[in-house]
Amino acid sequence: MLMGGIKMFKGCFVAMVTPFKNGDIDLDKLESLVEFHVEKKTSGLLPCGCTGEAATLSHDEQKRVIKLVVEMADKRIPVMAGTGSNNTEEALDLTKYAADIGADAALLIMPYYNKPTPEGQYRHYKKIAGEVDIPIVLYNVPSRTGKNMLPETVAKLSEIDNIVAIKEAGGSVDQVSQILSLCDITVLSGDDSLTLPMMSVGAQGVVSVIGNIIPDKVQKMIDSFNNKDLETAKKIHYEILPLCKAMFIETNPIPVKTVMSWMGMIEKEWRLPLCEMTEENEEKLKGVLEDRGVI
């Protein structure tokens, strides 16, 4: 299982949005999103991450979404379940559940708000990894957690058998270089605009927001790089760069869900405290999309 997991973490994993309708999870749209990615040959799916608004889902809802995506994927596409929390016992419960219902891996954000020390971070992940038989993916995102996971901590954690990868969203290619100079953990970019630069120093792909709307384009960029067609990879990188940046003109996933609603993929709905974009930013977003031929 673990060896399969290690081989699995390459390409474009899409950080799925959670579609809502009248305040509830839109199950029909969720199923259509899974089918969309199966059809597009997306490398894998990540339900219930930051893009999936996990922070506003109850734990019962989070488990429901993970279970539904696993069942809908039906082993046609790997599922990396978002099971992180700043409460170690809650993260352990969610991760055990993901393992029990057949998820292929679990992504655990570094505990947010309480800002644990490197030793606290290590003990958090070690406890969870030691009690579940599922590949664990670390998630470093200082903009959300308020603290950077040091490369030395990542290297120490990589010595644990089932901690096999890290989603690195610190915005630093240098951080990826430092991590890979210390250990051979698989690195996935956590920033769409840095996927190609991070791959140039050893990352294997991306956990993508923009992949919700153009997964095939992101996958082609990655495949081109791996096939040593650097010109095509670079061309796609610059082609999609404005789209990647536009997805963050307001808090993620507000822009990407707006675009997906325009494309008829989901309803235009979030859960508070997230809400619709300002009209000014909607116009900016629409301009980028029209310029790039997405809508």
Q: pLDDT of 172-219, one tens digit each? A: 999 999 999 999 999 999 999 999 999 999 999 999 999 999 999 999
Q: What is the pLDDT of residue 4?
A: 41
**CA distance to 42, 131, 153, 179, 258, per residue, from 203 (Å):** 17, 28, 18, 10, 29
pTM: predicted TM-score of the whole model, two decimal places:
0.93
CB 80 within 8 A of CB 105: yes
Whether the pLDDT of residue 3 is over 50: the answer is no
292 confidence band (pLDDT: 50, 70, 90): confident
Mean pLDDT within 257-279: 96
Distance CA 217, CA 123 (A): 39
- pLDDT confidence of 9, banded at 50, 70, 90? confident
C-alpha distances in angstroms, 293 versus 12, 24, 214, 286, 289? 21, 32, 11, 10, 6
DSSP 55: G
The DSSP code sequence of 11-33 is: EEEEE----EETTEE-HHHHHHH
Structure tokens at 28: 């029909």
pLDDT digit string, tens, across residues 213-265: 999 999 999 999 999 999 999 999 999 999 999 999 999 999 999 999 999 99
Query: pLDDT averaged over the chain?
Result: 95
- Compute CA distances 16 → 23, 30, 206, 223, whole Å: 18, 9, 13, 21
What is the distance in angstroms between the CA of the first residue and the CA of the last residue of the chain? 41
User: pLDDT at residue 5 above 50?
Assistant: no
pLDDT tens, residue by residue, 56-71: 999 999 999 999 999 9
pLDDT exceeds cutoff 90 at 294: no
* Mean pLDDT of the 99-127 span: 96
Lowest mean pLDDT among 144-148, 224-228, 264-268: 144-148
At residue 46, the 3 state secondary structure works out as strand
Which residue, among 17, 161, 7, 159, has the nearest Cα to 82 in the 3D structure?
A: 17
Q: Give residue 7's pLDDT.
A: 55
Active site residues: 139, 167
Ramachandran area for residue 41 (φ above 0: left; ψ -120 to 50: alpha; else beta)? left
pLDDT at residue 1, as a whole number: 36
- Residue 254 CA to its chain's centroid (Å): 15
| pLDDT band, residue 276 (cuts 50/70/90) | very high
Q: What is the largest CA-CA distance in the chain?
A: 49
User: What backbone phi and psi angles, to 5 degrees, belong to 168?
Assistant: -100, 105
Q: What mean pLDDT do residues 15-38 have?
A: 97
In the chain, domain spans = 2-216
User: What's the CA gap between 57 and 79, in Å, rounded?
Assistant: 19
Q: Which of left, alpha, beta for 134 (phi over 0: left; psi -120 to 50: alpha)? A: beta
Q: In whole angstroms, what is the distance from residue 143 CA to residue 157 CA?
A: 21
Interstrand relation of 44-46 and 11-15 (parallel, antiparallel or unpaired) = parallel
Give SS3 for 100: helix
* Residue 291: per-residue pLDDT: 86
Residue 176: its pLDDT value, please? 98
User: Looking at the domain covering 2-216, what would its CATH class be?
Assistant: alpha beta
